Amino acid sequence: MKKTMIIGATPNPERYAHKAATRLVYTGHKIVNIGIKKGEAAGVPIEKPGEIYDDIHTITLYIGKKIQKEYYDYILQTKPKRLIFNPGAENEELFKLAERNGIEATNSCTLVLLASNQF
């Protein structure tokens, strides 16, 4: 199973980031929720960015391009193997930066990847 960090995590069950958290946990993945809202998603507390995790396989983005800039260093320091840009989070600059740093970058949908056993 791939430990996954959700950037843009939210306690709102109507949001796709929350649905992804729930589906990831349901399918046996460990998650780290990073966001600005207080609460939890899929039983895991939402943290503000700060602690650098060294065991993250995938970071899945649910924040827009404008907000992502403040997360660039955090993402690169975390050193995930893969970075997923979910619909609405596409960002060519960060995509190229990730690839230059040895991170597989993809414009995909975490929920679709999970549903089709491609995660």
We report the CATH number of the domain holding residue 20 as 3.40.50.720
What pLDDT digit, counting tens, does each position of 69-96 carry? 999 999 999 999 999 999 999 999 999 9
Cα–Cα distance measured from residue 101 to residue 113, given in angstroms and rounded to the nearest whole number? 23
Coil, strand or helix at 34: strand
pLDDT for 71 equals 97
Across 4-30, b (16+ Cβ under 10 Å) vs e yields: bbbbbbbbeeebbbbbbbbbbbeeebe
pLDDT for 107 equals 98
When divided into structural domains, the chain yields a total of 1
Query: What residue numbers bound the domain in which 9 lies?
Result: 4-115
Confidence of residue 47 (pLDDT cuts 50, 70, 90): very high
Q: Is pTM beyond 0.75 here?
A: yes
